[in-house]
Each structure stands twice: as C-alpha cells, then as structure tokens.
Amino acid sequence: MERIAIENVESRAFGDGNHQRGLSDPLGTTDVAINHYRLAPGEGFPGGLHTHVDQEEVFVVLEGEATFETFEGKITVAAGELIRFGPGEFQSGNNESDEHIVALALGAPRDSEDVRIPVACPGCGHENLRLDFTGSKMTFACPDCGAEHVPRDCPDCGHDDLRLTLADGGSTVVVCQGCGSEFDNPPLR
C-alpha cells in the first residue's frame, strides 16, 4: 500500500499557469498512469488532438469545466463528472471557461507506446502518424512505410508549441500557441 498527498508531489509547469503532477511513480502503480492537472483559462491538456492505440484514458474533473474535442463534436465535462476515451478514439481537452480546471487523468495500461495524430504521411498517405518520443526530439513516424518526419517550429514566429486541433467543419489544423497561425499540415523539416 502507498499513500501520498497530491500537493507533496513535485509539479511540472507547462504553458501559461498550468501544472501537472505525475502520481504514478510516487504511488508505485504498475498498471495505471495517473496525472493531476491544473489548467488556466484558455489552456489545454498537453498533446493536442491525439489517440492512444494501446491505452484507454479516463478524465475526472474535480473543479471547473473541461471541454473535450472529438471527431463527434465537443463535449463539456463539469466538476464531479468523468469521461472515458477508448483505445483509438481521438480527443483533446481544453479549458474554455473563465475558471481554473483541476482534473485527474488515468490511463491503462500505464505505459502507452502507440500515440497517434490524425495527420496523413506525406510519403505514402497513411492516415495517422505515430508520435515517437525515443530520440532527443519528438518525431512523427509512419506506421505503414516507416518514414520519419521531424516537426519544426512555427514558420511565422518560431514558437515551438504547435497543437493539432479541429477547425470548423471537422478538418484538422495545426495552431501555433505563440502567434495563432494555422496550418493545414504540421510544418516539417
């Protein structure tokens, strides 16, 4: 048995006013990933629009109201509510309210190794590229032809935080978090 206090776990800041606490290691979990998030208004959970081919995710909203974007539309989850995404279901979560969100994200199995984004391979056209975090910088790998594609910073402002999201009409776009520029496809090297 392990017991921890969330506030005693080291916090990792990301974005503007956002914090994540990884609870899996302090608890010693082997089969479930657990993360605690605090998101400022206008901010989102890390990762943008993605799916875990090998993991289901459950988000428990403890405070505030999270809006999840899916190919089926937007879904608002209020404090005291939960939402589950099965393996292969694309989603991204954002704080579209004026208040902070506090939420838990649970994923099983713990170590997801196949995270995909809904972007076609420029080489062969396969519909979903796999995110590869094994090198010093994240790359996109095609699960079909094996081609590796290296994302680059925003061509307009040089910011390195580009997120995949859904545009009006349901098509995917890449949005720079620095200047707001939108691209139909991720800028690649």
pLDDT digits (tens, 9 = 90+) for 33-55: 999 999 999 999 988 999 999 99
| 104-to-38, 83, 165, 176 alpha-carbon distances in Å | 9, 11, 22, 26
Domains of the chain, with CATH numbers? 6-108 (2.60.120.10)
- The whole-number average pLDDT for the span 58-77 is 97
> Whole-angstrom Cα distance, residue 185 to residue 164?
9
- Residue 61 burial (10 A CB sphere; 0-12, 13-18, 19+): buried
* pLDDT tens column, 80-119: 999 999 999 999 999 999 999 999 999 999 999 899 999 9
> Whole-angstrom Cα distance, residue 174 to residue 183?
5
Bridge partners of residue 129, in order along the sequence: 117
119, 143 contact by CB (below 8 A):
no
Q: Does the pLDDT of residue 135 top 90, yes or no?
A: no
